[in-house]
């Protein structure tokens, strides 16, 4: 389990961090699922890396599966596959080498920092793919100061290019953003997303609303070009640069990370239960077994970390 995830879980609830050290849900949720698909596409040596990301979704959908409340899991997996294809194709240029994950490094106390970030081929900056429903100033500062961004930057002493992908709202197992949803002209079948001169006005009812997975005849590059032409790609995919803090601030952050990781790995007994964070900001995956007074197990849908890897 990577260090930013463990630290974030431990700050959310000590018990969450303790159990996340050794256990993981057998089936990933939508966010984890999509990150795995995108990672596969960015890191593969296959020529058609976007398609490879989509194929990874099919493989993951079969084993171990997707954790979702949607009644039609297959359709949701296909939906994620097409979004992953688009995102990877937009992120990785044709002549780019496969992306690589940043290697593990020791912190000052000897604790190993296990990264969740990618390392730029030049070795001069980190990369992170950040998937969000929407973007705001609050979300900007939350992500910039998270262990996934600021923690990684301080651990390696390298700036980060944080790539933000805005997916849109999720309803009934589908994302309703520009990566997955558009409209077609009823006659010439031109793909559009919004009016260039009057972005607040919708298209006429005669235009047909479509989802990406229902239109195989539309090439991935065509969809991306239409997003660019209508000015929505810039709203759906953009960079946020995270700089390395001043030496004193950086040292304070890495010292904090080292102490907390050492504390997490040295825990022998289950920490006390915390109640205020069980359902906020997201429902805790350990909520059920925790409230029953149990520990994670196969009966509650968990598997040991080494089994997942």
Question: Which residues are bridge partners to 241 per DSSP?
Answer: 161
Q: Quick one: pLDDT at residue 160?
A: 98
The pTM (predicted TM-score) of the whole model is 0.94
Q: Is the dihedral of CA 31, 33, 36, 40 positive or negative?
A: negative
* The pair of three-digit structure tokens given for residue 160, joined into one six-digit string: 């980060």
**Sorting pLDDT into bands at 50, 70 and 90, what band is 181?**
very high
* The pair of three-digit structure tokens given for residue 274, joined into one six-digit string: 């915390």
Q: Where are the beta strands (DSSP E) in 167-308?
A: 169-171, 174-176, 181-184, 191-192, 208-211, 237-242, 302-304
The answer for residues whose C-beta is within 8 angstroms of residue 120's C-beta and 6 or more apart is 126, 127, 161
Q: pLDDT tens across 186-232, in order?
A: 888 899 998 666 666 677 778 889 999 999 999 999 999 999 999 99
Q: Are strands 160-166 and 237-242 parallel, antiparallel or unpaired?
A: antiparallel
Q: pLDDT tens across 114-150, in order?
A: 999 999 988 999 999 999 999 999 999 999 999 999 9
């Amino acid at each position: 389990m990577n260090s930013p995830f463990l630290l974030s879980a431990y700050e959310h609830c000590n018990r969450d961090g303790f159990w996340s050290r050794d256990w993981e849900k057998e089936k990933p949720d939508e966010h984890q699922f999509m990150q795995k698909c995108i990672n596969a596409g960015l890191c593969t040596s296959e020529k058609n890396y976007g398609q490879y990301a989509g194929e990874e979704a099919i493989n993951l959908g079969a084993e171990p599966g997707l954790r979702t409340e949607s009644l039609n899991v297959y359709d949701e997996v296909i939906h994620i596959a097409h979004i992953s294809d688009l995102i990877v194709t937009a992120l990785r240029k044709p002549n780019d080498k496969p992306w690589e994950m940043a290697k593990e490094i020791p912190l000052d106390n000897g604790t190993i920092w296990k990264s969740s970030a990618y390392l730029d081929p030049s070795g001069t900056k980190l990369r992170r793919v950040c998937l969000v429903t929407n973007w705001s100033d609050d979300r900007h500062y939350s992500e910039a100061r998270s262990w996934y961004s600021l923690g990684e930057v301080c651990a390696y002493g390298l700036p980060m290019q944080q790539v933000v992908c805005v997916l849109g709202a999720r309803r009934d197992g589908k994302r309703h953003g520009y990566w997955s949803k558009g409209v077609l002209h009823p006659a010439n079948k031109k793909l559009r997303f919004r009016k260039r001169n009057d972005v607040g006005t919708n298209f006429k009812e005669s235009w047909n609303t479509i989802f990406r997975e229902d239109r195989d005849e539309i090439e991935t590059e065509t969809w991306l070009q239409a997003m660019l032409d209508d000015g929505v790609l810039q709203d759906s995919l953009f960079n946020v640069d995270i700089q390395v803090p001043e030496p004193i601030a950086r040292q304070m952050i890495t010292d904090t990370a080292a102490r907390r990781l050492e504390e997490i790995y040295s825990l022998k007994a289950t920490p006390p239960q915390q109640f205020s964070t069980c359902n906020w900001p997201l429902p805790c995956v350990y909520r059920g077994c925790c409230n029953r007074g149990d520990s994670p197990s196969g009966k509650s849908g968990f598997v040991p970390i080494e089994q997942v890897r």
